[in-house]
Structure 1
Amino acid sequence: MTALATAPAPADHRGRRPGPLLLGVRHHGPGSARGVLAALEATRPDAVLIEGPAEADGLVALAADPGLRPPVALLAHAVDDPGRAAFWPFAAFSPEWAALRWAVDRGVPVRFVDLPAAHTLAAADPSWGEAGDEDEFDGGARIDPLAELARAAGHEDPERWWEDVVELRGAAAPPGSHAPPDPPDARDPLAVFDPLAVFDALADAMAALRERHGDGGHPRDAVREAHMRLRLREARKEFGDAVAVVCGAWHVPALARRTTVTADRALLRGLPRVKTELTWVPWTHRRLARRSGYGAGIESPGWYAHLHSAPDRPVERWMTEVAGLLRGAGHPVSPAHVIEAVRLAEGLAALRGRPRPGLDETTDAVRAVLCDGSDVPLALVRDRLVVGDVLGEVPAAAPAVPLQRDLDRLQRSLRLKPRAEERELDLDLRGETDAARSRLLHRLRLLGVDWGEPAAGRAGTGTFRESWRLRWQPELHVRVAEAGVWGTTVEAAATARAASHARAADSLGEITALAERCLLGGLGDALPAVLGALADRAALDTDVAHLADALPALARSLRYGDVRGTDTGALADVAAGLAERICVGLPPACAHLDPDAAARMRARLETVHTAIGLLGPRTPDPTPEADPLPGPVGLPDRWAGVLRRLAGGERVAGEVRGRAARLLVDEGWNGGEETARLMGLALSPGAPAADAAAWTEGFVGGTGGGLLLVHDERLLALLDDWLARVPAEAFTDVLPLLRRTFGGYEPGVRRALGELVARGPGAAAPGSAAPVPGFADALDGARADAVLPLLHLVLGQEAPA
């Protein structure tokens, strides 16, 4: 800290010392940004050089466009491989952005001097962003310079030390603000004397670290620094020494080093290169956070943005923002709380010997005063304010691939503005705008641009409503660039990619899911290719499990396609064919299954049952003796026959038999007597205990099973009688399955079953003459009809005469 607080002799003409001005910074530091602005104002250079890809010179003019609002990033991607991309982010408080805006506002030429993205992307891993993260002052090097300096100053926490030395010094007003800056602190020689002092001190510190650790940076640092020196030489030839360079502090000693042009060019000779394109894209504070994986990440971008933007009284303004957030979330926070929190933060700073309250002090004060000591509301503050969801903006004039421009047009026309914060979007598919929004989101998902995800439990094609969870991430711009190879519009690209996926699909289920996604996205032009592949694969696939996995998606598409105005006629024949083959092949496929296979087959049985229920109306109930296969009967009726065959099959696994019996009961296809007969057979004394327990799990497990036992005491009596007869040596084996079966019931259902068992459900066993309280032998039609007038009134219907 002593080294950084030493002020050198005043500068000469216009505040400039001989030679180019090397301003070493910490990326995304508001203190560095203030220092850069002060240095540029004092020296007024004729050109500004900034660390960044050299090809970005052509994008400098856009910085003057009011539509370019940080946080933003330079995006570079390989033309032939858009997935190979890198970002160079800038926040409003980034020193590079401050230098860029200072120069553009004053008409001063700007040059980007880092290694061209053409070389960086050719050598980088294809995963996004890696190339742009290697050059950062706070973590990209093998050693952490910030930690080394903090350790030398006797501090264990590098972030806190840097905040004390740089970030918490007098907060100047932001560029363009008319608010006066804080008065200079007499204890701060940097605020009283030379604005270049901090940069000179950092340069000396970096030189000492590099000398001690042998230039222990990234292996490519030498190549990048050679290119920076060559660009600096070019600028000095054009502008003389009136040049300012803004770069990571780690690189300053290398730029000041005396080398030859020949030596620097030798380091660059033979580097691989790819053809690249660059543009500006929106960025977010959340992606600047270290927890996001960004190499130059900071712990608290929202806090740093506040320090940069608050012209005065940063702590008071911060506490006011926190109070507003907490009040909006329903927490009782008053102005008195804010005053006490500010006082506590200032007191903590004094006790800890800090120049001003930092993030630690304000956080402790917020927890104690505004959150009543709870970390639950504090987590909201950290997420929304300390990190934040600010999303930058880019003007329409910025270069973009055609697909991105079409997406921008659709977002504007559908009023779907990208936002960094997560939000819920409820759509009514009967409306033209909401239906178009749904199609767009589904098409983007098919292209791999996951801007939105269906909200669990509410989305789907089964209703007129659809729920989405939206959040725009900066890397989605790369995904859009990648998807640009499929077409120039969202619809054309999604159609082409769907057709390609259909040809390359490995399984029948994958193709049916693709067909459903095409219908959801309204991609009628893609359906012929998808349905052709579906028909070919379905004709060759003989595995009933694969057919069962494929049918539900087709059934949903057929049943609810009319909601979206999509023609699903071509899909009906394929779905009917799959259903017929399932009806034929399912009974043999359910024989001789082990417990795990039986559980999987039970799940398939349930999904197929739901799918067949969606495919069409049912003809009159078939008789138990009806053959499920021959004859011109409806598909649901044939399915009822399949369920009866499964429920009575001796070789069918117990869990599958039990679920088939349950489905027959739920649909009203089996009466009480037939159900009691099946249960009596499954739980007879001769049945193995494990098989009987599996049947019980299939029959009464899951939703509604407990209520079935509550309302039919005959079944409960059969189950109670079987449990009483299970041998002790077998009971311990079936107990886990029984516990899972009954443990899933609601507490009220378990209590009612307990009361019935305590009263003795055996009175309701078949053949018993004792009446069952609350139950009659047959339905009382008169009592049931008495409910109808009220039911019609509730439904708003006119009661029949």
Structure 2
Amino acid sequence: MTVHVLGVRHHGPGSARCLRAELARLRPDVVLIEGPPEADGLVGLAADPDLRPPVALLAHVPGEPSRAAFWPFAVFSPEWQAIRHAVEAGVPVRFCDLPAAHSLAARPGEPDAPGAPQDGPAEAGAGPRAPGDAAGGTDGDADGGGEAAGETGGGPGGDEDGGAPAVRTDPIGGLARAAGYDDPERWWEDAVEHRGDTPFAVIAEAMAAVREGHVPEEHEARREAFMRRTIRGAVRDGFERIAVVCGAWHVPALTGTPGKAWGAGLPPAKADDALLRGLPRAKVETTWVPWTYGRLTARSGYGAGVASPGWYHHLFAAPDRPVERWLTEAAAVLRAEDLPVSSAHVIEAVRLAHSLAVLRGRPLAGLAEATEAVRAVLCEGGEAPVELIRRRMVVGDRLGHVPDSTPMVPLQRHLRAEQRRLRLKPEAPERELDLDLRKPLDLERSRLLHRLLLLGVGWGAPRPSRGRGTFRESWTLAWRPEFDIDLIEASAWGTTVPSAATARVRDLAAAAPALPVLTALLERCLPADLPQALPAVLEELSARAALDGDVTHLMAALPALVRAQRYGDVRGTPAAGLAAISDALLTRICVGLGAAAGGLDDDAARDLTGRIDEVHAEIGLLDAGEEAADDRPGTRWLGALRGVCGRSDLHGLIEGRLVRILLDAGDLDTARAERRMSRAMSAGHPPARAAAWIEGFVSGGGLLLVHDARLLGLVDGWLTGLDPEAFVGVLPLLRRTFGAFAAPERRAVGERVRSLGAGAGTGPGDRAGSGEEAVDDERAAAAVRTVLTILGRV
């Protein structure tokens, strides 16, 4: 019986290549791999060609999806290559790390909890930690690259007895410094990744030297105790050639005394059993889920991540002439973006990369040299193309795939079926999707995306449509691995996407804190086509509207309600009862608007003006298709605005805005509007109120002033008649008002003002419109002298 402990670097292409060759040489009859034992039954799926990395093992506690952990694998991960070798050779595979049932049973902050501080940063977006890997050191995994950086001491909070915090060491950093390197990652690449012939015995010897005198903290000790227990179990089961694939840091703890039978120098079985006795347990479920290279990066927060998974994939897939192949592919990427890159560029870039490697004493040009060659030669110093190469190639946008036979919750399986039916393939890179809702396929796609949003699965993000009309929708699609966790969590609501979204909407309606939240939920519910959820939302909406006496709340709620009513009709999903509720809300708004509009300060007046604009913009939808009548929504709304506009205690901003709305609607003729404007800008009103009145009046756009000379003349006469102090006081308000106009509108207003001055024939405006430039010779003299000096004529 022989036990071969093979220390690797997680996600190391050199380790993966060497491991594959070593396993072919050893021909073990069982392979033990660092990972959760609960996933032993899933290893056989690796034989399915539809299980394509990057993928991850997911372990979660049923009913508590936030308590979950991922174990990601890429094609260049040594563990994945070990699984593939065993499956192809028909050799049993067992995972040997501490069971997820123990680590997920611990609560946050406890030593064995997922995401506990001593284990390093949690997998971003997942909440819990990634598999037994670490915090620190290099860009990679210091288990022979990165894991050990977080596992060589106690947690940052000290030991259980409240002692001083344990000091973490970086074993790869120590070996790199001993070799004269200042960058541990570069040393590992030069010593292992770029060589491909480093024997596992050398790695084991190096780790033994680094671990000399090291006392593992509790969590690390339990992990290694369980690994030894699993090896003993394989020995008892009669296996003769046992291969153990683990992070290089753990090799000394699993090997024992070199040159002796396995087990010599290791803690006895009783000691390991005592260490593992009494650990908390939780019921967990495991499955395979797709992963992405973007989530495999160190910058994503994954403790065992690598900074350049795309580069590592390339090194594994192209062991011969990797630099030449890399730069050729980079040139193809740049050409696809219409950037001029020739074969001569590629040749010079290869030469530069190899020259830099020679100058730096490296056995092979690495990513740093290749990137500098890309920047200097292919991109000619430009940073934007370099960032494109980094995103497309260095990191990559590869998304894995799992077969249909993979264990899934019913909601996941239903979504997968819907994706196939609607021909919506989940992909990692962002892509734009434009939908025409008049087409049945596009309408079904839209409903699916809206339902997923209600479930908290943001696969699709709505964006402004390129087309016009309510039959157009535009989305940005990008699949993320954490959506599988979201689907598991959402499975508590139902087994299909429509049923789960319906149940979720009902709960959201019951918990909605305010009326606008309910109407926004209703607006989201209609495009999702959830007719069984609508009665609950409408019932809650009607009850809340009857009890809410705040007019601003009612005004905030009405626009979404009107849009929902109109949009539902467009999509063919009308909601009975919406018209009655919106009509009741409008009636209460019209009655209470006068009391709500009086005696407001600047901020409250601005807020109410915005509410009035929102309601007015949507009232037209209620009038669409109705015959002219006194009880039409638009008629009632304009009557309410007319009654409020006559109040004497209105803020200038509100009064000016109401006059403009009534004028545009034809409810107020130009002569009456002029009288109101003239009265608002009379000497009896403070300049600040007059400026606010003008702001409210022209906030809909400046074209009215361009086409109505009398209104423009009133504004111009009021402004030119202000004394200097009043002018300075209202100038910021006027700049804000006129600065909101489009440049052509401002230019047209200026030209009209000039023509007004030309027609009047008096005052400062005459010179502006006389066709001659008004020049003050005394003030211009200094500028003239400066110009003459520049021209050399003085």
Q: TM-score, normalised by structure 2?
A: 0.85
The Cα of 1:152 is off from its aligned counterpart by: 2.9
Tell me which residue corresponds to 1:175.
Answer: none
Distance in 2 between residues matched to 1:93 and 1:524, nearest whole Å: 48
Aligned residue runs from structure 1 range 284-433, under 5 A: 284-433=292-441
713 and 371 in structure 1: CA distance in 2 versus 1, 3 angstrom threshold: farther
Q: Secondary structure of 1:524's match?
A: coil
Q: Are 1:597 and 2:593 an aligned pair? A: no
SS across alignment from 1:28: coil
Quote the Cα distance in structure 1 between the aligned partners of 2:464 and 2:182. Answer: 45
Corresponding position of 2:545: 538
2:289 partner SS: strand
2:707 equivalent to 1:706? no
Q: Which amino acid aligns with 1:683?
A: M
Instruction: Tell me the equivalent position of 1:3.
Output: none
Is 2:466 aligned against 1:454?
no
Aligned with 2:492: secondary structure?
A: helix
Aligned AA for 1:741?
T
| Distance across 1 between alignment mates of 2:277 and 2:342 | 65
Residue matched to 2:772 = none
Distance 2:93 2:617 in 1: 65
Matched residue SS, 1:83: strand
**Corresponding position: 1:519 with 2:499:** no
Larger mean Cα displacement after TM superposition, 507-516 or 478-487: 507-516
* Displacement of 1:681: 2.5
1:396-423 Cα offsets, whole Å, 9 max, x none, are 0000001111101100000001000111
Q: Give the 3-state SS of the residue equivalent to 2:491 in structure 1.
A: helix
Kindly indicate whether residue 251 of structure 2 is the aligned counterpart of residue 252 of structure 1: yes
Picking from 111, 114, 118, the partner of 2:94 is 111
Aligned to 1:793: none
Residues 596-622 of structure 1: per-residue CA shift (max 9 Å, x gap): 22222222111111221111238899x
Q: How does 1:253-268 map to 2 (within 5 A)?
A: 253-257=252-256, 258-268=266-276
Aligned amino acid, residue 745 of structure 2:
V
- Listed one character per residue, the Cα deviations across residues 764-794 of structure 1 (whole Å, up to 9, x for unaligned) are 89xxxx9xx9xxxxxxxxxxxxxxxxxxxxx
SS of equivalent to 1:114: coil
**Relative to 1, partners in 2 of residues 1:707 and 1:233: Cα closer, same or farther, differing over 3 Å?**
same
Moved more, 750-759 or 446-455: 750-759
Give the conservation status (yes or no) of the 8 Å contact 2:6–2:243. yes
**Residue aligned with 2:250, SS:** helix
1:737 aligns with 2:720: no
Corresponding position of 1:434: 442
8 A contact 2:61–2:284 mirrored in 1: yes
- One-letter identity of the residue aligned with 1:493: A
Q: Does 1:716 align with 2:712?
A: yes
Contact in 2 for aligned 1:619/1:633 (Cα 8 Å): no
Q: Deviations over 1:423-468 (max 9, x none)?
A: 11111111111111111111111111111110146699x6101011
Partners of 2:132 and 2:651 lie apart in 1 by 59
Structure 1 Cα separation of the partners of residues 651 and 211 of structure 2: 72
Q: Separation in 1 of the partners of 2:407 and 2:454?
A: 25
Superimposed CA distance per residue, residues 167-200 of structure 1 (whole angstroms, 9 cap, x where no aligned partner): 2225xxxxxxxxxxxxxxxxxxxx3xxx6x2x33
Q: What is the number of residues matched between the two proteins?
A: 712
Matched, 1:204 2:205: yes
Distance 1:571 1:519 in 2: 11
- Could you tell me which runs of 5 or more consecutive residues in structure 1 were left unpaired when the two chains were aligned: 1-17, 171-190, 622-630, 774-801
Relative to structure 1, the CA distance from residue 383 to residue 669 in structure 2 (aligned partners, 3 Å threshold; closer, same or farther) is farther
Contact 2:30–2:239 under 8 Å retained in 1: no
In structure 2, the residue corresponding to 1:698 is in which secondary structure?
helix
| Structure 2 partner of 1:221 | 220
Partner residue of 1:670?
668
Partner of 1:176: none
* Superposed CA offset, 1:495-532 (max 9, x none): 11111211121111111112122211100011111111
> Secondary structure of the residue that 2:130 maps to in structure 1?
helix
Alignment of 1:624-639 (within 5 A): 632-639=630-637
Q: Which string of whole-angstrom CA distances, capped at 9 and with x for unpartnered residues, describes residues 354-389 of structure 1?
A: 211111111111111221211011111111111111
SS in 1 for 2:76: coil
Q: Aligned letter for 2:665?
A: E
Deviation at 1:45, TM superposition (A): 1.5
Cα deviations by residue, 1:527-576 (Å, 9 ceiling, x for unpaired): 11111111111111111111111111111111121222112232111111
Change (3 A) 1:732 1:295: farther
* Corresponding residue of 2:682: 684
CA separation of 1:645/1:377 partners in 2, compared to 1, >3 Å: closer, same or farther?
Answer: farther
The corresponding residue for 1:795 is none
Q: Deviations over 1:7-49 (max 9, x none)?
A: xxxxxxxxxxx84211222211111111211221222222111
- How far is 1:241 from its partner? 5.5
8 Å contact 2:60–2:284 — kept in the other structure? yes
- Give the secondary-structure state (helix, strand or coil) at the position aligned to 2:332: helix
Check conservation: 1:579, 1:612, Cα contact below 8 A. Answer: no
Superposition deviation, residue 311 in structure 1: 4.4
CA distance in 2, matches of 1:656, 1:157: 65
**Which residue is equivalent to 1:160?**
186
Aligned partner of 2:154 in structure 1 is none
Match of residue 612 from structure 1: 619
Tell me how far apart the structure 1 counterparts of residues 332 and 672 of structure 2 sit (CA, whole Å).
65
Q: Distance in 2 between matches of 1:608 and 1:113?
A: 64
Q: CA contact under 8 A between 2:66 and 2:127: conserved in structure 1?
A: no
Partner AA of 2:660 in structure 1: R
Check if 1:32 corresponds to 2:15: yes
Determine which of 649, 658, 664 is the counterpart of 1:660: 658
Corresponding residue of 1:697:
695
Task: State the Cα distance separating 1:761 from its structure 2 match.
Answer: 5.1
Q: How many angstroms does 1:237 deviate by?
A: 2.1
Q: Is the 8 A contact 1:406 1:488 kept in 2?
A: yes
Given that 1:648 and 1:678 are in contact with CA atoms closer than 8 Å, whether structure 2 keeps it comes out as: no
Tell me how far apart the structure 1 counterparts of residues 727 and 206 of structure 2 sit (CA, whole Å): 75
Cα separation, 2, equivalents of 1:334 and 1:326 = 10
Q: Give unpaired runs (5+ residues) of structure 2.
A: 109-113, 115-124, 135-141, 152-167, 257-265, 770-794
Aligned mates of 1:505, 1:699 — CA distance in 2: 36
Distance 1:159 1:33 in 2: 17
**Aligned CA distance change for structure 1 residues 714 and 78 (closer, same or farther; 3 Å):** same
1: distance between equivalents of 2:595 and 2:251?
A: 76
Alignment match, 2:590: 583
Give the deviation of 1:667 after TM superposition: 3.3
Partner of 1:148: 174
Q: Is the contact made by 1:316 and 1:342 (CA closer than 8 Å) also made in structure 2?
A: yes
The alpha-carbon distance between structure 1 residues 684 and 54, as it changes in their structure 2 partners (threshold 3 A), is same
Q: TM-score, normalised by structure 1?
A: 0.85
Q: Distance in 2 between matches of 1:253 and 1:732?
A: 80
Contact in 2 for aligned 1:79/1:275 (Cα 8 Å): yes
Change in Cα spacing, 1:689 to 1:395, as seen in structure 2 (3 Å) is same
Would you say the 8 A contact 1:618–1:637 is kept in 2? Answer: no
Distance 1:115 1:764 in 2: 91
Tell me: CA distance 1:644–1:262, structure 2 relative to 1, closer, same or farther (3 Å): same
Given that 1:71 and 1:89 are in contact with CA atoms closer than 8 Å, whether structure 2 keeps it comes out as yes
- In angstroms, what is the RMSD of aligned CA positions? 2.4
Q: In structure 1, what is the equivalent of residue 498 of structure 2?
A: 491
Residues 213 and 264 of structure 1, relative CA distance in 2, 3 Å threshold: closer
Residue 129 of structure 1, CA deviation: 5.2
For 1:179, the equivalent position in structure 2 comes to none
